[in-house]
Each structure stands twice: as C-alpha cells, then as structure tokens.
Structure 1
Amino acid sequence: MGVKITELVSATRKTPPIASLMNKSIAIDTFNWLYSFLSSIRLSEGSMLQDDQGLATSHISGFFLRNIYLLENRIKPIYVFDGKPSDLKKTTLAKRAEVRDAAVKKSEDAKEEGDIEGARKFAEAGVHLEKYMIEDCKVLFKLMGIPYIEAPAEGEAQAAHLVNKGVVDKAVSQDYDCFLFGARSLLRNLTQQKVRHIRGKNYPIELESYDLETVLKHLGITREQLIDLGILIGTDFNPGIKGIGPKTALKYMQEHGSIENLYDKKPDLASHLPMDVVQSVRKVFLEPDVTDTYKLVVEPFDTDGLVEFLCKSKKFDEKRVKTRIAAMQRELKKAAQHSLDSFLAT
C-alpha cells in the first residue's frame, strides 16, 4: 500500500507526455503492477482470465500489453522483484491476507446471490499471489527481451538504489515509499490506459512525475524528516499513531524536526509508537538491503517464442497477439529506423 502522502506531494506533480521518456531507462516495482493486473483484469463476474488448466493469466495479459506500450515508446524497462520481506512487515502482510480472504468469501457469497457487481468488487480485493504467477512474469520478460533483477528485500528499495546509482533514470511505482528509500525521481501512472474505473465512475489517468528534491523543498523538510513523517502516519513496517494524519505529521516535523524532539514535547505519544520501533523502521529506509550483484541480461525479442508461450501454452488469441507485436515493430521501425533488437541492446 505504501505511505499515504498524496495530499502533501500533489502540488509538486508534473504531468509530462509519454514522449519525454523516449530512450529513458526505468526500474519498475514489479509486484506493484502485478497486484494491479491481477485485481483489475477480470471477467464481468469477477473471475480472472485463465488458461485451459484453470491457472490465472490476467497478469500475463497486463504485462504483455504494458510492455508493448513501453517498447513502442522506446522506453527501456527493468523489472525489480521483491525478495524476502522484513520481519517488521509480517504484521502488515498478515493483515492484508486476512482482508483478502474475507474479500474472497464476500465475492463468493455475492456470486451465489446473483450480485455480479458485488462479486467483481470483492474479487478485485481478494487477490492472492501464487508462485507460478511470478515465474510466468519472468518467462514473459525474457521472451520480450526485458531484463529483471531479484532484490534481496524490498523491490522499491532496489529500484531507488538503481536510480541513485545512475543505472536507470527513474523509478516506477504507485507507492511513495520510493521517496522514503531515497529515489531521486519517481513515475506514477505509467500506463497505456487513459481512464480508471472506480466504483462505477471514470477518472482520467495522467502520467505523473515527481522529483524528491522538489518534494522536500516544497514541504520544507529533509528526507530523514520525511521518513519520520511516514512513520508517524504509518508505513508497511509499522502502524502509525491514531489521530495523526499527513498534515499533522508534516506540521510536527516542521516544528520539532524529529520524532525524538516531538516526544520531548508530547511524551504521551511515545506510548503509541515506542522509539525502538521508530529506530528499526528508520533503518529499513536509511539502510535498505539492496544489491549491486546482478546481471542485466537483455535477450533478443523472441517473437516465435512469445507466440508459443502466449498462444499455445496460455491460450491467448494468436491473431491478436501477432497483430499487436507487428504494430509495435512497425512503430519502432518508423520512429527509430532500426530493429527492435538493436533498440534493446543499446
């Protein structure tokens, strides 16, 4: 879910055209998109797309089309997979699992009652990630010539590390945790879709770009203080203090500078969020478990292998798949006058 600071950073948001990312490299928080595809790509009654073995293919459809969109716009993606979660995250993960289990039950009940809209709504909230889904993604990325990295811990931390080391230009995630991990530049809403459907309403989607330095200057705080702000309102690694929202937390950081100084003035708050927890969560963001030991293996775009995987194995419509690939290749040839393989290899 990530730290909820949209209302604080929205004034710094830029909405650049997709063309501004031409020839840029990006590090993508894979699981962020994976959960999104599994949740949103559904049949009318809420069930996911499936192959003839009953295995979900919604994620494959989502990543295939998103990757085509990135490549035909000459954007160079690198996917980052999460590694082992921090022990501090176990409570959050357990709560999420409970919510998802409850949503699955509500979806099944709604379906039995003939409530198709309710069945879909609850099904979207009941996503369970299976190991085969992750392996599907890796196969797909390899066939499309897109490299990926397996992070030792948080994917967002590794993406931020890649940005700050100059390996890529920008991190991509819907969550603002990338800023707490120190990412200099963040993209949100990197999608080919123009409208998002939420509870029967349509909302326009615009590509969003944020710069950490601009965000901190706008808020009048440091990155360390932004981390403390996040800890006060709650992160994936700790519950926040009830009654403290983003604006109040920002005010506290601007006035007191740190959680220690805040507790000196308001000692009752310490009982809700002990300093040992604060220090542990700070360490997650300030000293993240990341790696420089990886190989960015770029395979040639394998059209035949991709068609075999999508259409023979996963039962996608062959004509549609081939048509979409051909359209991308024509676009790249027209725009850049070189082959897809040479584009990916540069």
Structure 2
Amino acid sequence: MGIGGNFWDLLKPYARNEGFDFLRNKRVAVDLSFWIVQHTNAIKTHVRKPHLRLTFFRTINLFSKFGAFPVFVVDGTPSPLKSQARIARFFRSSGIELNSLPVPEQGVSAERNRSFSSCVKECVELVELLGMPVLKAKGEAEALCAQLNSEGHVDACITADSDAFLFGAKCIIKSFRPNSKEPFECYNISDIEAGLGLKRKQLIAISLLVGNDHDMNGVRGVGLETALHFYRKHKEQKRLENWHTKVCHKIAEEPNFPNDEIIDMYLCSDNGHFSANDGPHITWERPNIGMLIDFLNFHQRWEPSYIQRLMFPMMSTMFLRDKASTTVESLFFGQYEFDSLHRVKSIYGFQLYVVKWKRAAGNFTYAIRSNESGTQQDVVEHDKLVDLLDDCDVPMIHVDDGCSFLLTDENMDLVGAAFPEEVKRFRQEQEQKDLKRKRNSTSRSQEYENENSASPNSKSIQLNITKFYPSTKIKHESKQEESSKKPDTEEGEASANKRNVSSSNLPKSVRRRLLFD
C-alpha cells in the first residue's frame, strides 16, 4: 500500500533500528486500519474476533511496556480516486478484465467493506474504553497521521503506507521486532532526503510516475528505478540527455499527466475535523474498567478476573505517572498499593524494576488466581503464535511469607520519580549486598592464595620424598649387591684357604685338624 514499485525496498537502506525505550513518553499516531488489516497475518490460528484481541494487547503494551502515548486515527470517506484504485486492484487480483471496471460518478466515493467497517467500529469502542484518544480523518488515516506528525502534535506515525511521507510525515515506524534489542524499524524523512537527494515534492512526482493508491497505472514503461534516476541530480547529466528525452516522451504521451487532483491531495494540510488555530483535541483518560469488562466479556468471553490481570500493567504505569507528577491516593484499582522493589530485571539489555504490589486490607472485589479457566488459557497459548506487540504481559504472582503479591516490570525512571525514597533504600541495600559479596569473594580469594602459598612446601616435601625414595632405593640396592657379593668373597676365601691348606706340606693329621677346627 502506498507508492508502487516496491518503494519500501528503496527506503530500506535508510531505516534506523531504534532501541527498547525509543517511544518512552512520546506521542504516536496509530493508523488503526493498519492494525486491523494485520490481524489476518499476525494470528495463524482461529481466535474469537482477532481484531479486538490484537488491538487490546497492542494498546496495553504500547502504553505500558514501551511507555508511549498512542493516538488512534481512523479513515474517513475515501476519495473517488482511491475508491476507483481499490476496485481496480480487486479486479486485477481476481483476474477480471479492467475494461469492465465500473466508474463511480463524479465526486461519489465507494463505501468500504461492511465487515471491515464493523471491525473498525468495534476497535474504536475498545480503545475509547481504554481511555485512548481517537481522531477521524476526512479521508485517509495515514494523511491525518502525517499531518499530526508534521505539525508536531505527535512524534511518530505507526503505519505501513509509504505515501505517508508524501502527506508530510517526518518519522514512520513500519514494523516491530519485540524479541530484539532494537525492536523498532523507523524511517526518518531527513535520512531519506539526505540519502536519495529527493525532497517531498520529488517523491510525489515519483509516485505519479510509478503509480500509487490513487492511480495504480502511473506512466507506462516507467519503473521505480527509471523514475528515481529521472528526478535525481547526476554529475553526468549531459550523458543522459538522450535517455532523459525518451522518458519525457513517455510522460508526454500519457493523458491527464500529471494529475493535479492527486498532487493537491498530497499537499493538503486539512485532513482532520479540527481547525488550524484550535488544533486536535488529544487527551488520555482513565480506562472505564466496568464497561471494559462487560465489553470484553461479551465479545471475547473473558472472565473479569482475567481482564483485570491483563489491565494491571497499564493501570500500574498510569498510577506511577500520576504519582510522579501529582499527589494521588496510595491505591490504584481501588485496592492495590506499592509494597517494595523486588529486583532489577534486564530485557534485551534494557534494565527495569520488578515492583511488588500488595492487596490493601478490606478491599476484596475479585480473586486473583494463578490458574485461569480454559478459555483464558487458550488465549495465552495463542499469544505464543503472534510476533508483534502481542506478547501478553500478565503480572506474575509472588508468594512471600504466606502473602501474595503481584509483580510488574516498570521503567526505572518512572519508579524513581514516583517513589524516590524506596528506590534510594533499594539501591543502598543492593550496595550493601554487593559489598558483602565482594568481601566474601575477597575472603575466598585470600583462602585460595593461602592454599597456593602453602602448596610450594608440600611440593618440596613431595619432591624431597621423591628424591629420598630413589636415594634410599639406590642405597638399599647397593647394600643388597654388597651382601650378595660378600658370601661370594667368603666362599672364595674359604676355597682359597682350602686350596692353601691342601697345598701345604703339613702332615696329614695336622691338615685334618686345621680343616675341622
């Protein structure tokens, strides 16, 4: 949707991947139709009214997890050109000849699909019950999103329509990667102008050449690459004069080109139902919990306790914001109060406080259960199949000394502004724990060093024993050799004596006495 010819691929090199806290405290215009169209791609299994479920989870996560202030924008009456282009797109995708394409009367717009309009109506009712502002455009929602961004009412737009830049948008968030350190894929018009060397009016001219949502045909024989080179400034422009002339001939052959009506529509700065002096009325209210429970119970068949648990992160974020700016009651939801900081949590390199909330005495309007009914469990299982803003952050139940607490992940700066003394105490405790841990590690290292310092003596003793053992072994072997050699010597001496005795000239009786005495 938007500019034809794979225009997003042309802009891809100039995208910025922004971090987890990019939208913190920023106003964001959301093209609600873009979310509703996405539900068929985001949810791969059968879910009851997925457009409501998708809008509910995304709104809560955008508000609480990412800290943004969403402003929802819905389409108004489509222009006759847009209606004609939509019909042509349908005929083309269905394989029907465009010659039979019906032509709407002058100034008459074709109504949108009734089923889609019903989905939009239900989503609008849901986000209004959540306390979010909703603005209706005169025509296209992306046009009003772009105008709000251009005039500074919002900081960015969430849409997939590339022609939002043609309407004047400055920053567009096209897609989300929540399981990443840089979840937001952003496009800034300043980066695009610097990279491509094209201004807004030149982008409009390119859309007229390659086709857009209001004129799918464009100029025959002119693609995105040709249109890009046609409007960019080249150092070797003279060498491209023949090529440039051929493109001009193609443009001249096209009837009713350029279409002034489309140009005026892109450059229009009156896309909402408000005056330039007064500006849009944008306020964020508290959710209507009672009516919200009835609404979701009717459309989604969710139990009240489950709905309130899902709403808990949004309510805690709202409570912390109010607590930081004004003096508010110590309870939110009418029954919970801040207990303490449980620990520090890191999500893709971004640190958060895990806050413990306790139930105030005497306020028990509903029970919190760790195991919900089968219907709610089915919904939680479906969350694992969705890959956008649709992760369900149900607060965890923590039991400590027989007491139950709810745990939520909260922004550190927000908690610090709301409860500075608690944060100071928590940090001191953490410093003491770190100091104790360092001391323990130091003592262990000293013991290890002592063991290492004692080991050389043991090694020398072992070496001495090793040295002693072969030396004694050698001595023992030498003694054995001497002892083994001594009998041989004595025997030799005895035999010698015998030889000496036998060889003497003594009388026979004397020799006998010498041998046996």
Which residue number corresponds to residue 190 of structure 2? 213
Which residue number corresponds to residue 67 of structure 2? 74
CA contact (8 A) 1:92 1:236 kept: yes
Q: Secondary structure at the match of 2:219?
A: coil
- How far does residue 321 in structure 1 lie from its aligned partner after superposition? 2.9
Alignment of 1:56-135 (within 5 A): 57-72=49-64, 73-98=66-91, 129-135=115-121
- How far does residue 167 in structure 1 lie from its aligned partner after superposition? 0.9
Letter matched to residue 144 of structure 2: Q
Identity %: 24
- Which of 219, 222, 232 aligns to 1:244? It is 222
Per-residue CA deviation, residues 271-313 of structure 1 (Å, 9 max, x unaligned), is 6643444322222211254133443353321222212111134
Taking structure 1 as reference, are residues 24 and 272 closer, same or farther at Cα in structure 2, changes over 3 Å only?
farther
Alignment of 1:302-321 (within 5 A): 302-316=288-302, 318-321=304-307
Letter matched to residue 15 of structure 2: R
Letter matched to residue 321 of structure 1: I
Q: TM-score, normalised by structure 2?
A: 0.51
- For residues 308 and 197 of structure 2, what CA distance do their matches in structure 1 show? 51
Letter matched to residue 300 of structure 1: R
Letter matched to residue 136 of structure 2: E
Instruction: Pick 1 or 2: higher relative contact order, CA cutoff 8 A, min separation 6.
Output: 1
- For residues 19 and 129 of structure 1, what CA distance do their matches in structure 2 show? 36
Which residue number corresponds to residue 115 of structure 1? none
Letter matched to residue 50 of structure 2: S
- For residues 182 and 87 of structure 2, what CA distance do their matches in structure 1 show? 31
Taking structure 1 as reference, are residues 310 and 100 closer, same or farther at Cα in structure 2, changes over 3 Å only?
farther
- How far does residue 323 in structure 1 lie from its aligned partner after superposition? 2.4
- For residues 299 and 115 of structure 2, what CA distance do their matches in structure 1 show? 20
CA contact (8 A) 2:219 2:251 kept: no
CA contact (8 A) 2:206 2:224 kept: yes
Which residue number corresponds to residue 206 of structure 2? 229
Q: Secondary structure at the match of 2:164?
A: helix
- How far does residue 155 in structure 1 lie from its aligned partner after superposition? 0.9
- For residues 284 and 175 of structure 1, what CA distance do their matches in structure 2 show? 15
Q: TM-score, normalised by structure 1?
A: 0.74
Alignment of 1:25-44 (within 5 A): 25-43=27-45
Q: Secondary structure at the match of 2:16?
A: coil
CA contact (8 A) 1:163 1:185 kept: yes
Which residue number corresponds to residue 173 of structure 1? 159
- Which of 47, 50, 63 aligns to 1:49? It is 47
CA contact (8 A) 1:232 1:244 kept: yes
Which residue number corresponds to residue 284 of structure 1? 265
- How far does residue 229 in structure 1 lie from its aligned partner after superposition? 1.1
- For residues 296 and 334 of structure 1, what CA distance do their matches in structure 2 show? 21
2:152 paired with 1:152: no
- How far does residue 184 in structure 1 lie from its aligned partner after superposition? 1.4
Tell me, which stretches of 5 or more residues in structure 2 are unaligned? 96-112, 238-242, 334-413, 415-517
- For residues 18 and 38 of structure 1, what CA distance do their matches in structure 2 show? 26
- How far does residue 39 in structure 1 lie from its aligned partner after superposition? 4.5
- For residues 287 and 272 of structure 1, what CA distance do their matches in structure 2 show? 28
Larger Rg: 2
- For residues 314 and 92 of structure 2, what CA distance do their matches in structure 1 show? 39
Q: Secondary structure at the match of 1:171?
A: strand
RMSD of aligned alpha carbons: 3.3
